[in-house]
Copies of this chain bind each other. A is one copy, B any other.
Amino acid sequence: MVGGKWKPLILFFLGDGPKRYGALKRCVRGVSDKMLIQQLKELEAHHIVLRTDHQEIPPRVDYALTPFGESLVGALRPLCMWGEANTETIAEALDETGKA
């Protein structure tokens, strides 16, 4: 449910508050429209995020975590912290394989 290249990032940024599509896209650098929407649809289908379409023009859509989603993000946080605490070791490890 949280696999793939973008879902963890999306979840991370939604972790500190609801965001609209454009804002999310600016947070998750490098993501394409297709990927962002695709991942959001999956997260929505899994009841992890809630999509709110304010029937407006120009279009305006908000994405927020559901309670279920928040519990997931909570469970993910230690892993995130581990990543931050080990960026160097991780970079080294990945280098050796990626370049050799």
Contact = CB atoms under 8 A, between A and B. Distances in A.
Interface residues of A, number: 26
Contacts of A57: none
Which secondary structure dominates chain A's binding surface?
helix
Given A93-B46, A96-B45, A79 B79 contact: yes
Contacts of A60: none
Copies in the complex: 2
9 pairs of A and B residues whose beta carbons are closest in the complex: A75-B82, A46-B93, A75-B79, A75-B78, A45-B97, A78-B78, A47-B93, A76-B79, A79-B79
Contacts of A96: 45
Contacts of A78: 74-79
